[in-house]
Amino acid sequence: MATRALGADNRRMLGKLLVVAAVMFGFGYALVPMYRAICEALGINVLTLSEQRATTGSWTGKRGAVNTQVDSTRLITVEFDANVRGPWDFKPAQRSVQVHPGALTTVMYEFTNIQNRKMAAQAIPSYAPRHSAAHFNKLECFCFNEYTLAPGEKKEWPVAFVIDPKLPRDVTTITLSYTFFEVGGKVPAAPKGGLGDARAAGPGRPAS
């Protein structure tokens, strides 16, 4: 009799354990999507968010929205010029690009100190036509800082810019020119007559 009672108790206990195991399994299975949803909402699931950014380019896992400020109906030619006034090499990596107003663009300038001494230098920009300067927004530029270069040192510096879509429609070409000068020396004057006059004869001609 006692053996039967013990066997019945064991079966009841086994049944309870199976029920608890089934509930825990179901809860654990449901916890994964719940955890993912909560972590994505709070931004704390670093692994999942990193995977989403790698595949979608967005931390939210959604495709980034198209920049509606980009005017795809217009193309502006931006020419790059470098005035060399000293014992160094200074030039743009490319002479011109075509960009849509509102689109972010990055170009590079190359500088080499060919002197046998250390120098401190800085660049000053100028624009043609001159009124385009108000619509030429530089987000990153080596002209923001002064640099010290060792003898023979070579540097490459970026210029990241956006042209304001409000740029007048009669402007189809902008020339960005940099003059590099040694800090402590005489700051060179802007090209005589303005850069716009120097470019009047046609695009691609270097400013004097």
116 and 171 assigned to the same domain: yes
CATH code (residue 178): 2.60.370.10
Q: What is the arrangement of strands in the sheet containing 154-163, beginning at the earlier edge strand?
A: 88-92, 104-113, 154-163, 136-141
Tokens 């790698």 belong to residue: 54
15 and 109 assigned to the same domain: no
Would 198 be classed as within a structural domain? Answer: no
89 and 40 assigned to the same domain: no
Would 98 be classed as within a structural domain? Answer: yes
36 and 127 assigned to the same domain: no
Contacts of residue 138, defined as CB under 8 A and 6 or more positions apart, other chains included, come to 125, 159, 160, 161
Q: What is the pLDDT of residues 157-169, one digit of tens each?
A: 999 999 999 999 9
Q: What is the arrangement of strands in the sheet containing 96-99, beginning at the earlier edge strand?
A: 96-99, 76-84, 173-182, 119-128, 147-149
pLDDT-derived band of residue 201, with 50, 70 and 90 as boundaries? very low
Would 69 be classed as within a structural domain? Answer: no
pTM: 0.55
109 and 42 assigned to the same domain: no
Report in angstroms the alpha-carbon separations of 201 from 70, 184, 189, 205. 30, 35, 21, 8
18 and 97 assigned to the same domain: no
80 and 129 assigned to the same domain: yes
Would 203 be classed as within a structural domain? Answer: no
Total domains, the chain = 2
85 and 177 assigned to the same domain: yes
- Percent of the chain scoring above 70 in pLDDT: 60
Would 22 be classed as within a structural domain? Answer: yes
37 and 114 assigned to the same domain: no
Would 99 be classed as within a structural domain? Answer: yes
- Tell me which residue range forms the domain holding 154: 76-184
The pLDDT of residue 175 is: 95
39 and 89 assigned to the same domain: no
Would 44 be classed as within a structural domain? Answer: yes
Q: What is the pLDDT averaged over residues 4-15?
A: 69
137 and 51 assigned to the same domain: no
143 and 109 assigned to the same domain: yes
pLDDT-derived band of residue 204, with 50, 70 and 90 as boundaries? very low
Q: What is the pLDDT of residues 27-84, one digit of tens each?
A: 665 555 665 665 555 544 444 444 444 444 444 444 444 455 899 999 999 999 988 6
More confident residue, 188 or 93: 93
Q: What is the pLDDT of residues 119-152, one digit of tens each?
A: 888 888 999 999 999 999 999 998 888 888 899 9
The pLDDT of residue 25 is: 65
Would 171 be classed as within a structural domain? Answer: yes
